[in-house]
Chain A
Amino acid sequence: MPDSIRLEVTRYRPDTDSEPQRQEYDVPLRKEWTVLDGLNHVKNEVDTTLSFRWSCRMGICGSCGMNVDGEPKLTCATFLTDYAPGPVRVEPLANFPVVRDLVVDLFDFMERLPRVKPWIIRDDDVTEVDGEYLQTPEELDAYKQFSMCINCMLCYSACPVYGLDPTFIGPAAIALAERYDLDSRDHGARERLDVLIEHEGVWGCTFVGECTRVCPKHVDPAGAIQRYKLKAAKESVKAFLLPRGTR
């Protein structure tokens, strides 16, 4: 095994650069080092001006997502040895505007997320003061997979639909809507459907399926979106066929 590997890092300094440039750094190649460790080595030892986001280093916080050799990855879970002998291309997540170097602007998503109302909605007056909302293990299993999302944005980076049409509400937001729809304590499915039935909602998706493939938490946003389409289609058929009172 060689003792170093080359990182080809995309740099963008908004005050001086008109477009992103590529800069190369050689970092030690160690068995236990991830791409994030390589970047931290650069930041600490070589070039303190390099900017990137990270926090937990254990695949929970979802902040270190970047494109590694063109694939959206959590850099804290992507080992340098898997890319040996290199070089390894490290770029900011695709489909998002770049703020600086490897840092992308997530404003769009932050603005969009509350629109799908990812919280428990009740249609009665029961509140937590009246006691817990009880749930069986089976009821928990129904939505658990979709609750694993860490908002790392890898799915948005992998989604060509979002790249071509940034008004598309996107995989993670729809998966979260599904997470609450499937929750036995929730009564908000109708409200969410009203948002997601719009053009920029579920119908924007063409089922490329890349969101599911890149998801580090196995959430399966593509599956959630297709199930939503089925739900939306059923509602439309019902609205067309049934008299108002029975819907």
Chain B
Amino acid sequence: MTEVRTYRRPMSIWWWTKKRSYFVFVMRELSSIFVAWFVVFLLLLVRAVGRGGAAYDDFLDWAASPGIVVLNFIAMGFLLLHTVTWFNLTPQAMAVRVHGRPVPPAVVIASQYVGLVVVSAFVYWLVTR
């Protein structure tokens, strides 16, 4: 077989800006950082609560500073993106069957939102009771 001279096209580092779906994908991946940030934020809150009233007040003051508010606002946006995109992808990753019958994708997605609401309501009740 004769050797064929082929041309390999270079891939730009900006490939993810070329298509909307690629951009959404990269934003979804990036959202993990903000999820991690909220975990850290929550741990700091728990630590402040554990250290008593003064530490908790300090935490609230710090959390109300403009920089943190802006950061949390952006993080919230990414968290919503994270939730919506992964919930939408779940039926593709999990072929759920009940009594041998496949569960429609819409039901799988809806059940996750129901789960989210139930857990959120429980946490809200726990915090405000």
Contact = CB atoms under 8 A, between A and B. Distances in A.
Interface string A207-221: 111101100000010
Contacts of A12: 7
A105 interface: yes
Contact of B25 (A70, A163, A209, A227): A209
A230 interface: yes
Interface size of B as a range = 20 to 34
B99 interface: no
B6 A209 contact: no
A170 B60 CA distance: 49
Interface stretch (A39-47, A91-99, A121-129): A91-99
Interface size of A as a range = 20 to 34
B4 A99 contact: yes
B92 A20 contact: no
Interface of B: 4-9, 11, 15-16, 18-19, 21-22, 25, 29, 89, 92-95, 100
21 contacts: A14-B4, A70-B18, A70-B19, A97-B7, A98-B7, A98-B8, A98-B9, A99-B4, A99-B6, A160-B22, A163-B15, A208-B21, A208-B25, A212-B92, A223-B93, A223-B95, A226-B89, A226-B92, A227-B93, A227-B94, A230-B93
